[in-house]
């Protein structure tokens, strides 16, 4: 289970997160939605132990990420698809990742297949990859250790329609096998199709949370999202 308990984060004058609380249960895909600058990446970075909360606690399986035993085997993260070394091939990236986790090389090969990077693509340097290929590699990196929790920041960015459909099926099957999946996105229609729960955030605050059906309410998620973020903007003026 992933849990945010009244997490706040302040960067000098900017209150990026303001008492954010929500839960992602095993077996669910939770979409984390918010306009630019809402605080999504900050929240995911705090959860993955890359940034320290000013107050409150973000935990995975009841503990802060950095206190988990071998976190890479328990939690998969994709926070920046551009973060891989551009001179390494996709196969090298996953082989090194597998070695760091104490996994056999064969796991890197299995994962390349799982994310649909062909033999030819996996032998090319990552610097020459398209954004969609980097996302596939990043998702593969997150899945190497067969984690039971996944934290993905904008994983659909750059994926083509087939790629988005592939990701939807993959995340659904991971959740169905018991994984807790948290993904941030701007793509409301995508989230509507992938997620079963949604958390909407604006200006660092949770504006609404619930199932896709509850928040869509017949009008669709997009309208709910636009109404809530406009209200949050008005009250901040």
Ligand X SMILES: Nc1ncnc2c1ncn2[C@@H]1O[C@H](COP(=O)(O)OP(=O)(O)OP(=O)(O)O)[C@@H](O)[C@H]1O
Which is closer to ligand X, CB of 14 or CB of 236?
Answer: 14
Of residues 81-140, which lie at the interface with ligand X (CB under 6 A)?
none
Smallest gap from Cβ 98 to ligand X, in A, equals 29
Q: Decide: is 11 part of the binding site for ligand X (CB under 6 A).
A: yes
Q: Checking DSSP bridges between strand 55-60 and strand 205-211, what pairing results, if any?
A: unpaired
Q: Is the dihedral of CA 155, 156, 158, 160 positive or negative?
A: positive
Q: Decide: is 230 part of the binding site for ligand X (CB under 6 A).
A: no
Which run of H or of E encompasses 150?
Answer: strand 149-153
Which is closer to ligand X, CB of 125 or CB of 226?
Answer: 226
Smallest gap from Cβ 37 to ligand X, in A, equals 4
Smallest gap from Cβ 198 to ligand X, in A, equals 15
Q: How far is CA 33 from CA 7, 30, 64, 85, 157, in A?
A: 17, 9, 23, 29, 14
Of residues 31-90, which lie at the interface with ligand X (CB under 6 A)?
34, 36-42
The SS3 of residue 17 is: strand
Near ligand X by CB under 6 A, which window of 9-17, 157-165, 174-182, 227-235?
A: 9-17
Q: Checking DSSP bridges between strand 149-153 and strand 75-78, what pairing results, if any?
A: parallel
Smallest gap from Cβ 34 to ligand X, in A, equals 5
Q: Decide: is 14 part of the binding site for ligand X (CB under 6 A).
A: yes
- Which token pair is 2? 């992933």
Smallest gap from Cβ 42 to ligand X, in A, equals 3
Q: Decide: is 188 part of the binding site for ligand X (CB under 6 A).
A: no
- Which token pair is 180? 């807790």
Instruction: Please count the other Cβ atoms lying within 10 Å of the Cβ belonging to residue 13.
Output: 5
Cβ neighbours of residue 103 closer than 8 Å, sequence gap 6 or more: 144, 145
For the chain, the maximum distance between any two Cα atoms, rounded to a whole number of angstroms, is: 55
Residues binding ligand X: what is the number (CB under 6 A)?
Answer: 11
Which is closer to ligand X, CB of 44 or CB of 60?
Answer: 44
The SS3 of residue 68 is: coil
Which is closer to ligand X, CB of 36 or CB of 235?
Answer: 36
User: Quick one: which of 16, 33, 150, 159 contacts ligand X (CB under 6 A)?
Assistant: 16
Which is closer to ligand X, CB of 115 or CB of 201?
Answer: 201
Interface residue list for ligand X (CB under 6 A): 11, 14, 16, 34, 36-42
């Amino acid at each position: 289970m992933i849990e945010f308990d009244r997490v706040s984060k302040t960067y000098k004058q900017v209150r990026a997160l303001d008492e954010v609380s929500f839960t992602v249960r095993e077996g669910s895909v939770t979409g984390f939605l918010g306009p630019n600058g809402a605080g999504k990446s900050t929240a995911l970075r705090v959860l993955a132990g890359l940034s320290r909360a000013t107050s409150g606690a973000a935990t995975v399986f009841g503990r802060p990420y950095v206190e988990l035993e071998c976190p890479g085997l328990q939690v998969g993260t994709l926070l920046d698809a551009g973060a891989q070394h551009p001179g390494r091939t996709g196969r090298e990236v996953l082989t090194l990742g597998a070695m760091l986790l104490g996994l056999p090389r064969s796991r890197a090969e299995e994962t390349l297949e799982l994310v649909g990077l062909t033999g030819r693509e996996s032998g090319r340097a990552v610097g020459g990859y398209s954004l969609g290929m980097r996302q596939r590699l990043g998702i593969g990196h997150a899945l190497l250790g067969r984690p039971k929790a996944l934290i993905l920041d904008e994983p659909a960015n750059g994926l083509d329609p087939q790629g988005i459909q592939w990701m939807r099926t993959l995340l659904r099957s991971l959740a169905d096998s018991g994984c807790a999946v948290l993904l941030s996105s701007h793509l409301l229609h995508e989230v509507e199709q992938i997620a079963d729960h949604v958390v909407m955030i604006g200006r660092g605050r949770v504006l609404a949370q619930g199932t896709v059906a509850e928040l869509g309410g017949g009008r669709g998620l997009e309208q709910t999202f636009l109404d809530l973020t406009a209200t949050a903007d008005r009250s901040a003026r």
